[in-house]
Structure 1
């Protein structure tokens, strides 16, 4: 059966489009293992697979209606990202929510992601910039209904798109797993968030896409810093 967390209340199928961040053909979006990876990833972020939970390959294959090979490949990639822990004798478990790791990952993102936005302003095609903006095409509806799976999927797709549009694959490979880890904590910020607060956050992301499309390198850096809750002056280079 399909995982229930992969559909919004409106019944839309969610697509993350982040697995091909490796730039390798063996993780092409249409492959079954890629689809399984993204489905498990979203459930990890949403807490459907909570921290410390044991993961059994047979049970996962049945739950996601897929083969064992795809599950094993997906778990291998998630282990490399640090989202799950695989031990020879004790099995596979969901990684704990580590606040120290979160802080360190955030510090790395503050350094890397604004630079990726700058590179995207130089290198992104019109189609890539438009795709960033269109990630939030259903944003207003998702905010109105507090559609958490859809909002998380949009956020992941947006940040992965910026990283890829930078044209620097090495940075994208570092950045996207950091975003995945941060998203496990970010979902808690939805608790009590008003529709207007969600709409404001969506608009901040759209503004990044607009500035990147305009080719404004410094403006793109500043706009990304605002998404990361860093004052642009604080993130300025000396």
Structure 2
């Protein structure tokens, strides 16, 4: 007699399968909300309209609130009982201190990359720069700044120091949201575009003697603009948000 082994069918209890589907949706919503916050679509301090987001994502409140809890644990969202959720405001002092460190890291990365950046790494940066130019020509500001940051990380990685790469990525994640809030300034967009042309010129120059200083200058200009925009937003927006929260309670 021949025995045929057939794979066993595992049936999850209905409650558990519903929970798994909910967690899967919550993870996807978390990712989408994180991008919306980091790119400035949900600005710092803004109240989060749960009903509107449920309609946007076509979900119930359960997976949305699971996602919001995750973002609260990451510090991107704040929650107050009876008031609800809002995007965490930016800390101007922390941003200023973070940029001070980033300026130095950019210069250090440039100095090391001037010696260690490989031809293949430069070719990859050149290709990414062409993509950025295409985004600029099409007016895709969010895409432009996303590629912009990828180029900076590629240059830092080209310095061949994994500790520097990790530290830079961590600190950039802290200022990325502020950069998203400042990206609407068209004049700064054009300035950044021109500065990236200078960065590419410094990368192509034999020996790359100017790369460190060019990167540092670009970082300083970016920091000045971002801090200015954030300070103005806080000055204009904080009183309104506080009053709005009191009224909502």
Structural RMSD (CA)? 4.3
TM-score, length basis structure 1: 0.59
More helix by share: 2
Which of 204, 209, 222 is the equivalent residue of 2:213?
222
Q: Is 1:45–1:183's contact at 8 Å kept on the other side of the alignment?
A: yes
Structure 1, unaligned runs of 5 or more = 1-34, 231-238
Partner of 2:198: 204
Cα deviation digits, residues 55-87 of structure 1 (max 9, x gap): 98xx79x9499xx8xx97xx58x92xx6x2578
Structure 2, unaligned runs of 5 or more = 1-27, 222-249
Matched residue SS, 1:97? coil
Provide the aligned length of Structure 1 versus Structure 2: 189
How far did residue 119 of structure 1 move? 1.7
Shift in CA distance, 139/92, structure 1 to aligned 2, threshold 3 Å: same
Partners of 2:145 and 2:77 lie apart in 1 by 23
TM-score, length basis structure 2: 0.57
Q: How does 1:8-47 map to 2 (within 5 A)?
A: 41-47=34-40
Q: Is 1:47–1:184's contact at 8 Å kept on the other side of the alignment?
A: yes
Partner of 1:147: 140
Partner of 2:43: 50
How far did residue 36 of structure 1 move? 8.6
How far did residue 111 of structure 1 move? 1.6
Shift in CA distance, 195/54, structure 1 to aligned 2, threshold 3 Å: closer
How far did residue 177 of structure 1 move? 2.7
